[in-house]
């Protein structure tokens, strides 16, 4: 009885081994190099460059693992690496590829390969790598700067925010948003330290840089006007402050209407409320009851 049990167990192990080996053989696919696969290409549509990536001068290579059927159509695409803005268009383009059937021993055979999709806005690779490294350094300093501003540690923030400005100045012109933000953060530190003239100078520089990449109707421009208004307000330049506050309110009210994202809408509402509080303070200090009434009416019409 024992002997027959051992034979039965041995047979089961052997059968399992055969089944497993067979299973592996069935699932295994032929792996072709990129060069071999490219020779079979008969349709290779160019990827669509995402507008946000192109505007931000983002370039690079997306690497994909691609499975191709025995008829030459792409049946699956898996991302290996690539920038998040570029992966989607790369996958979309590669799925539309067509290959001549690959033959192995005279029979059409499915295969896998690695495909690299290159996106470029014309910046040489070495120059682009230097830009990325500078950007990494900038974001490290900016992160420390923002954290200290949030904690209201303005003296410490001044050090890191000014360090971020120095790095931002080395970034190319198309990085206008980062440059503008760096100057804005120093302006905030100066406000916290009561150095209002310096704050105005940094906010002005932030606005001037921002104009190179922003439109008048952009919400970011509205926030820039709030900064300029506040600095002028604290310096006693009330006419300039009025003008900047009014521009900011107009832009942010329109931005509220145009955007559907609820978080953004609520941030615009908070900004509008702050602007109108500043405007009311100016109106009350001027002693003009008509101006005070006008601002109060506008405050009742906050979204």
CATH architecture of the domain with range 30-119: 2-Layer Sandwich (3.30)
Q: Where are the beta strands (DSSP E) in the chain?
A: 30-31, 41-43, 60-68, 74-81, 98-99, 102-104, 107-109, 111-119
Report the alpha-carbon distance of residue 3 to residue 10 in Å, rounded.
11
Give the tokens for residue 289: 């009851």
In the numeric block, the tokens 């033959």 are attached to 103
Of 76, 52, 53, 55, residue with least CA distance to 66: 76
Of 108, 102, 44, 110, residue with least CA distance to 76: 110
Band (pLDDT 50/70/90 cuts) for residue 6 is low
pTM: 0.70
What digits encode the pLDDT tens for the residues 242-272? 999 999 999 999 999 998 888 888 999 999 9
Residue with more model confidence, 291 or 29:
291
**How confident is the prediction for the chain on average, in pLDDT?**
89
What is 123-202's CATH number?
1.25.40.10
Count of helices and strands (H, E) across the chain: 12, 8
In CATH, 214-303 is 1.20.58: yes
What digits encode the pLDDT tens for the residues 118-158? 999 888 888 888 988 999 999 999 999 999 999 999 999 99
What is residue 71's predicted lDDT score, i.e. its pLDDT? 95
Domain ranges of the chain: 30-119, 123-202, 214-303
């Amino acid at each position: 009885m024992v002997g027959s049990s051992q034979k039965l167990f041995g047979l089961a192990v052997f059968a399992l081994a055969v089944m497993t080996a067979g299973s592996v053989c069935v699932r295994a696919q032929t792996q072709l190099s990129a060069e071999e696969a490219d020779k079979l290409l008969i349709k290779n549509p160019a990827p669509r460059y995402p507008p946000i990536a192109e505007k931000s001068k983002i370039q690079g290579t997306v690497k994909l693992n691609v499975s191709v059927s025995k008829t030459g159509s792409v049946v699956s695409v898996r991302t290996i690496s690539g920038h998040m803005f570029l992966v989607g268009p790369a996958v979309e383009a590669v799925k539309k590829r067509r290959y001549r059937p690959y033959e192995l021993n005279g029979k059409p055979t499915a295969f896998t390969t690695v495909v690299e999709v290159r996106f470029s806005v014309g910046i040489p690779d070495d120059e682009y790598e230097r830009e990325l490294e500078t950007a990494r350094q900038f974001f490290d300093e900016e992160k420390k700067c923002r954290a200290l501003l949030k904690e209201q540690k303005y003296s410490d923030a001044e050090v890191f925010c000014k360090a971020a400005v120095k790095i931002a100045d080395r970034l190319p012109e198309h990085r206008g948003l980062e440059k503008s933000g760096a100057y804005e953060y120093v302006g905030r530190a100066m406000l916290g330290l009561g150095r209002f003239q310096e704050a105005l100078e940094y906010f002005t520089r932030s606005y001037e840089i921002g104009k190179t990449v922003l439109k008048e109707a952009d919400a970011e421009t509205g926030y820039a006007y709030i900064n300029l208004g506040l600095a002028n307000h604290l310096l006693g330049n009330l006419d300039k402050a009025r003008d900047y506050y009014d521009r900011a309110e107009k832009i942010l009210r329109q931005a509220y209407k145009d955007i559907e994202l609820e978080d953004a809408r609520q941030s615009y509402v908070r900004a509008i409320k702050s602007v109108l509080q500043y405007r009311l303070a100016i109106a009350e200090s001027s002693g003009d009851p008509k101006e005070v009434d006008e601002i109060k009416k506008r405050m009742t019409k906050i979204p």
